[in-house]
């Protein structure tokens, strides 16, 4: 049975179609990534799955329970680490954990021991009895994760677990998530707008864009489906059409134009090998080039390939 | 049962956080004394007009200050809900089996506990100023019940507005907008007999005045227990209505997510 099954979710907020038919499934024990730029619908998907909001159409189940009809059992099955944490900042880390455990029906010694254990697991034992207001961003995020785990959920939702963390804390969090997944035998669904994070953590991932899943698979799969390297050619004068014809002739067909309007992306079997031919053909045609770069297949390229849009530009734009 | 247990957990959390801010404790305890002393002095001679049921203005005033204080406190109680909604504290618990009712009711009950505590402080200061609560222990209990009910009734409204508007400014505006009119449309500061006829007519429908009449009746001579029970009943009914309103606004808030 799938730990999470999502089928045709649609949801709008006012005029904005946040989800436009999202479907995917997550297997038991898997770390699954929802990757997409800000505003793609990742968080909305998670909010439906954790029973915070109802979809307009479509259905979803977590741990075999329908998120609308069986919201109660779903809530007992899941841990949710929201994007904006919701920690009580005027309480201590330990107090936050104890309250979370209590509403899950835990008490007494079992709760005390679980809290102590989790404080150790996420590495904030020393700060356990300090008011959260004084925690660093990384410590708060660790406490968030611990809060989602108090009641030993089977499925954990991590919404943008590393947004706002510095690079060092981010890498530490990645290690943490991998370790926790094993230790607590969890199924994890995480959302991220960091390509390298999805690449690093996810067993499988779905790329989400404008409220739809564009493609899903393992990171390796997705990358290998793109045969060859991407060559980015930035034109000095913006003679896009002329350049396009020239590249066509040297067997480097243009796949996309970046949002700046003067960078062409071509797909070739071997970038290093093709580059001299591309440059001399452009020079011969009298088209000045401002810059050129070769990219091994990355999730950026996967995103570009399947959506026709540049990930970084789209992420900033919204 | 779950709802009650969770309400208790949430009250525990709110109370603990409050106790961590000593300045608030000081304000909560000192402010009611300031009301009692300032108004007591300012209007000291007003009982000469007659109709007060006593010649001691402080005796007339003290039970009403309990009510006024409970009502003022309630009108601000939505602030902590706005804070919890803002900080996504509420959302975090919505993804858990936490009782939905407990998230709202804990705010109302916590607010009314505060009012009861302040009522005790006011009554102790009043005793020190020579006020005699004629009906003894029963009188104390009636006054505490009034403080709790008046506070709960208005806290329900404040929570509801907080959940509909989700903005501190709106909660403050509402508190300011209703506080003084309801105060002056009651016999808190002046005997019913001295109010203009039209104001007296309106005051019969003013929940603040229901509280004032019940609380004052157990302090002044010739206590009319029927009237006390009636006004307590009105307040209890109103509390049920405003609590239901607050719960409804919570569902509106949930649907907005």
DSSP string covering B95-130, please?
Answer: TTT--HHHHHHHHHHHHHHHHHHHHHHHHHHHHHTT
In angstroms, the separation between the Cα of residue B162 and the nearest Cα of chain A is 18
- The stretch B48-75 carries a mean pLDDT of 93
Partner residue opposite B95 with nearest CB, options A50, A84, A85:
A50
In angstroms, the separation between the Cα of residue A91 and the nearest Cα of chain B is 7
Partner residue opposite A51 with nearest CB, options B17, B89, B95:
B95
Specify the 3-state DSSP secondary structure of A103.
helix
**Contact: B16, A95; criterion CB under 8 Å:** yes
**Contact: A86, B9; criterion CB under 8 Å:** no
- The stretch A48-61 carries a mean pLDDT of 96
Q: Who has greater pLDDT, A237 or B200?
A: B200
Residue A183 pLDDT grade (very low, low, confident, very high; cuts 50, 70, 90): confident
pLDDT for A219 equals 86
**Contact: B92, A82; criterion CB under 8 Å:** yes
Average pLDDT over chain B, rounded to an integer: 94
Specify the 3-state DSSP secondary structure of A268.
strand
Q: Is the pLDDT of residue B87 over 60?
A: yes
Q: CA dist A112 to B10, B14, B48, B96, Å?
A: 18, 21, 64, 19
A16-20, A167-171, A215-219: range with lowest mean pLDDT: A167-171
Residues of chain A with pLDDT > 90, as a percent, come to 51
In angstroms, the separation between the Cα of residue B87 and the nearest Cα of chain A is 5
Q: Is the pLDDT of residue B244 over 80?
A: yes
Q: CA dist B82 to A204, B18, B79, B103, Å?
A: 39, 16, 5, 12
Residue range(s) defining the domain that contains residue B110: 2-255
Q: Is the pLDDT of residue B13 over 50?
A: yes
Architecture field, domain A227-296:
2-Layer Sandwich (3.30)
Phi-psi region of B224 (alpha: psi -120 to 50; beta: other; left: phi over 0): beta
Q: Is the pLDDT of residue A62 over 60?
A: yes
Residue A169 pLDDT grade (very low, low, confident, very high; cuts 50, 70, 90): confident
A76 contacts in chain B (CB < 8 Å): 97
Q: Is the pLDDT of residue B216 over 50?
A: yes
Residue range A2-222, CATH number: 3.40.50.300
How many domains does chain B divide into? Answer: 1
Radius of gyration over alpha carbons of chain A, in Å?
23
**Contact: A86, B6; criterion CB under 8 Å:** no
pLDDT for A300 equals 76
Q: Are A59 and A66 in contact (CB under 8 A)?
A: yes
Sheet hosting strand A31-35, strand order edge to edge:
A78-81, A155-159, A187-192, A31-35, A204-209, A212-217
Tell how many helices (H) and how many strands (E) occur in chain A. Answer: 12, 14
Each as own residue / partner, the long-range contacts of residues B222-231 (CB below 8 Å, 24 or more positions apart, any chain) are: B222/B53, B223/B134, B223/B135, B228/B142, B231/B146
- The stretch B252-256 carries a mean pLDDT of 94
In angstroms, the separation between the Cα of residue A140 and the nearest Cα of chain B is 14
The pTM of the full predicted model, rounded to 2 decimals, is 0.86
DSSP string covering B201-252, please?
Answer: HHHTT-HHHHHHHHHHHTTSSS--HHHHHHHHHHHHHHHHHHHHHHHHHHHH
**Contact: B97, A105; criterion CB under 8 Å:** yes
Boundaries of every domain in chain A: 2-222, 227-296
Q: Position of tokens 């199924």?
A: A187
Average pLDDT over chain A, rounded to an integer: 89
Nearest to A198 by CA among A230, A161, A242: A161
pLDDT for A317 equals 59
Q: Which of B7, B87, B92 should we substitute to test contact with A (largest number of A Cβ atoms within 10 Å)?
A: B92
Q: Is the pLDDT of residue B137 over 70?
A: yes
Partner residue opposite A82 with nearest CB, options B13, B16, B91:
B91
**Contact: B88, A75; criterion CB under 8 Å:** no
pLDDT for B34 equals 87
Q: What is the 3-state secondary structure (H, E, C) of A168-190?
A: HHHHHHHHHHHHHHHHCCCEEEE
B99 contacts in chain A (CB < 8 Å): 103
Q: CA dist A298 to A223, A273, A304, Å?
A: 6, 19, 10
**Minimum CA–CA partner of B16 in chain A:** A91
Q: Is the pLDDT of residue A164 over 90?
A: no
Q: How many residues does chain A have?
A: 318
Q: CA dist B225 to B53, B200, B209, Å?
A: 16, 21, 16
Q: CA dist B6 to A89, A147, A270, B101, Å?
A: 20, 17, 63, 9
A86 contacts in chain B (CB < 8 Å): 87-93
Partner residue opposite B93 with nearest CB, options A47, A53, A103:
A103
Digit-coded pLDDT (tens) for B155-179: 999 999 999 999 999 999 988 898 8
A100-109, A138-147, A263-272, A304-313: range with lowest mean pLDDT: A304-313
CA distance A23 to A5: 8
In angstroms, the separation between the Cα of residue A137 and the nearest Cα of chain B is 15
In angstroms, the separation between the Cα of residue A66 and the nearest Cα of chain B is 14
Q: Is the pLDDT of residue A126 over 80?
A: yes
Number of other CB atoms surrounding residue A15 within 10 Å: 5
**Contact: B89, A86; criterion CB under 8 Å:** yes
Q: Is the pLDDT of residue A318 over 60?
A: no
Digit-coded pLDDT (tens) for A194-244: 888 888 899 999 999 999 999 999 988 887 777 678 888 898 887 888 888
Q: Who has greater pLDDT, A84 or B59?
A: B59
- The stretch A299-307 carries a mean pLDDT of 78
A105 contacts in chain B (CB < 8 Å): 97
Q: CA dist A222 to A2, A23, B221, Å?
A: 21, 17, 87
Residue B122 pLDDT grade (very low, low, confident, very high; cuts 50, 70, 90): very high
Number of other CB atoms surrounding residue A110 within 10 Å: 10
Residue A154 pLDDT grade (very low, low, confident, very high; cuts 50, 70, 90): very high
> Which residues does A contribute to its contact with B (CB < 8 Å)?
47, 50-53, 72, 75-76, 78, 80, 82, 84-91, 95, 99-100, 102-105, 131, 147
A95 contacts in chain B (CB < 8 Å): 13, 16
């Amino acid at each position: 049975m799938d730990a999470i099954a999502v089928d045709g979710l649609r949801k709008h907020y006012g005029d904005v179609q946040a989800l436009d038919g999202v479907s995917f499934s997550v297997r038991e024990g898997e770390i699954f990534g929802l990757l997409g730029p800000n505003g793609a619908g990742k968080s909305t998907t998670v909010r439906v799955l954790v029973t915070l909001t109802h979809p307009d159409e479509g259905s979803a189940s977590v741990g075999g329970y329908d998120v609308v009809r069986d919201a109660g059992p779903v809530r007992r099955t899941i841990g949710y680490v929201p994007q904006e944490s919701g920690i009580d900042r005027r309480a201590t880390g330990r107090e936050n954990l104890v309250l979370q455990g209590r509403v899950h029906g835990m008490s007494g010694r079992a709760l005390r021991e679980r809290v102590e254990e989790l404080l150790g697991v996420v590495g904030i034992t020393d700060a356990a009895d300090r008011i959260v207001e004084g925690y660093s961003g990384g410590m708060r995020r660790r406490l968030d994760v611990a809060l989602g785990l108090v009641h030993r959920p089977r499925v954990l939702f991590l919404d943008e677990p590393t947004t706002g963390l510095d690079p060092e804390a981010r890498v530490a969090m990645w290690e943490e998530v991998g370790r926790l997944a094993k230790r607590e035998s969890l199924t994890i669904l995480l959302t991220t707008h960091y390509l390298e994070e999805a690449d690093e953590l996810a067993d499988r991932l779905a790329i989400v864009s404008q409220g739809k899943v564009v493609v899903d698979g393992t990171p390796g799969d997705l990358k290998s489906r793109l045969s060859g390297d991407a060559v980015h050619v930035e034109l000095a004068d913006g003679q896009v059409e002329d350049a396009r014809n020239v590249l066509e002739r040297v067997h480097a067909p243009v796949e996309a134009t970046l949002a700046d309007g003067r960078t062409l992306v071509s797909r070739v079997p071997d970038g290093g090998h093709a580059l001299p031919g591309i440059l001399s053909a452009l020079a011969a045609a009298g088209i000045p080039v401002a810059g050129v770069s070769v990219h091994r297949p990355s999730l950026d390229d996967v995103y570009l390939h399947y959506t026709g849009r540049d990930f970084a530009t789209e992420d900033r734009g919204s | 049962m779950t709802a009650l247990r969770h309400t208790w957990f949430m009250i525990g959390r709110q109370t603990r956080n409050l106790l961590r801010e000593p300045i608030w404790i000081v304000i909560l305890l000192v402010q009611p004394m300031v009301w009692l002393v300032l108004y007591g002095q300012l209007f000291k001679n007003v009982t000469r007009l007659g109709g007060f049921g006593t010649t001691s203005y402080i005796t007339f005033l003290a039970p009403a200050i309990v009510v006024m204080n409970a009502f003022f406190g309630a009108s601000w109680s939505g602030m902590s809900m706005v804070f919890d909604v803002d900080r996504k504290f509420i959302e975090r618990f919505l993804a858990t089996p936490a009782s939905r009712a407990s998230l709202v009711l804990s705010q109302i009950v916590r607010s009314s506990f505060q009012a009861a505590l302040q009522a005790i402080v006011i009554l102790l200061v009043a005793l020190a100023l020579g006020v005699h609560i004629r009906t003894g222990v029963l009188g104390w209990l009636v006054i505490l019940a009034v403080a709790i009910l008046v506070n709960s009734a208005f806290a329900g409204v404040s929570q509801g507005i907080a959940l509909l508007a989700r903005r501190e400014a709106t909660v403050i505006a509402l508190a300011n907008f209703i506080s003084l009119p309801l105060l002056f449309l009651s016999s808190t500061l002046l005997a019913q007999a001295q109010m203009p006829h039209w104001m007296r007519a309106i005051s019969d429908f003013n929940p603040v005045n229901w509280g004032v009449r019940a609380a004052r009746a157990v302090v002044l001579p010739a206590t009319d227990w029927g009237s006390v029970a009636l006004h307590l009943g009105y307040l209890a009914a109103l509390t049920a209505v405003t609590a239901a309103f607050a719960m409804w606004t919570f569902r509106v808030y949930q649907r907005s997510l």
